[in-house]
Amino acid sequence: MLIRFFAVSYLLSLALFGDGHILLMHRFDDSRYKSTNITTEQLRKDFEYLRKNKYKVVSFEYLLSHLYEDKLISFAIDDGYKSFYKNGLKLFREFNYPFTLFIYTEAIDNRYPDFMTWEQIKRTSQFGEIGIHSHKHPHLTHLDPISIMRDTQKAISSYKNVLKTPPKYYAYPYGEYDKNSREIIEAFGFDAIFNQSMGAVSMESDIYDLNRIALLGTYNIKTKLRTKFLATEWIYPTRYPLNGFIKKIKVKIPKGIKKAQFYISGYNWRTVEVKDGLIDLQFETPIKLKFKQTRLFIKTFDNKMGSIILVK
């Protein structure tokens, strides 16, 4: 009994500190699209940093069953661009790092020039996991339920036709979803679903809403990996406001936090009071949203972060 007590205590202590990170990429050595590109020179430096600092790079399957561990890293590659197959894959193989490639199946089915072929995806599946990123890569929040179902069914069908097994993982196109689209995607029975919100993952994470941190353009991986998980319940807003203005913010975070920082895309960070685990802000002058895709962040002063994406 004593051994069991210490074993449980050990696992609980790990859970308190076990923040993992899912790092997201799209294109590799493709200077035509700087906003979604990473150079393999930069990626090699990142891989060497992870190895030197004893991070453990693992598959999603391992990550999801070991979220109590510290310093876990998983890699996600979205869309299935040919530049991953030509430039990125060999570096992952050199370091023996696993990854999950989320494919946009319409592009693969129709042999769009910038995308991998099914033959290349089959070969890639020997070295990493393959998930789906929808069929048509739509804005799910703009679709009716039937259209979301049909798109997802088509993606699964294309996947199974070639890879012969059902996909275990789904990543929201553009990282966008709402309550309705989430419920529909969940009903397909995926093992896990991934967003594109900045944040870490932990034992408290929702496996149908897992954060991924994008590695794009110029960045510092040390800074990215300082981010910790913050349990965040967005009460308001949860959708893009019809008039494009936010009048209030209401968010639940863990009790015990007295102050936090709040950010809306295009504006400066501001320090806010937290009362009994609640951030409740009323703006005298409503805040006009500057972008069709707007990110809201809550961050504590010890780098815990939660976020949400609002889509017009």
Give the DSSP H/E element, type plus range, for residue 230.
none
- Asked: is 233-311 a CATH 2.60.40.10 domain? The reply is yes
- Mark residue 253 as left, alpha or beta (left: phi above 0; alpha: psi -120 to 50; beta: remaining): beta
Q: What is the pLDDT of residue 8?
A: 37
Q: What is the pLDDT of residue 92?
A: 98
Q: What is the pLDDT of residue 18?
A: 63
The CATH homologous superfamily to which domain 12-227 belongs is: Glycoside hydrolase/deacetylase (3.20.20.370)
Specify whether the CB–CB gap between 74 and 20 falls below 8 A: yes
Specify whether the CB–CB gap between 156 and 164 falls below 8 A: no
E-strand spans in 163-303? 169-171, 192-194, 213-214, 228-229, 233-236, 245-252, 259-264, 270-273, 278-288, 293-299
Q: Do domains 12-227 and 233-311 have the same CATH topology?
A: no
Q: What is the pLDDT of residue 13?
A: 40
pLDDT in tens, the chain (312 residues): 433 333 433 344 444 446 899 999 999 999 899 889 999 999 999 999 999 999 999 999 999 999 989 899 999 999 999 999 999 999 999 999 999 999 999 999 999 999 999 999 999 999 999 999 999 999 999 999 999 999 999 999 999 999 999 999 999 999 889 889 999 999 999 999 999 988 999 999 999 999 999 998 888 999 999 999 999 999 999 889 999 999 999 999 999 999 999 999 999 999 999 999 999 999 999 999 999 989 999 999 999 999 999 988
CA atoms within 13 A on the CB side of 296: 20
State the distance between the two ends of the chain, measured CA to CA, in whole angstroms.
56
Other C-beta atoms lying within 10 Å of the C-beta of residue 14: 15
Residue boundaries of the structural domains of the chain: 12-227, 233-311
Other C-beta atoms lying within 10 Å of the C-beta of residue 172: 24
Specify whether the CB–CB gap between 107 and 86 falls below 8 A: no
Q: What is the pTM of this model?
A: 0.90
Q: What is the pLDDT of residue 216?
A: 86
State the DSSP string of 47-92: HHHHHHTT-EE--HHHHHH-TTSSSEEEEEEEETBHHIIIIIHHHH
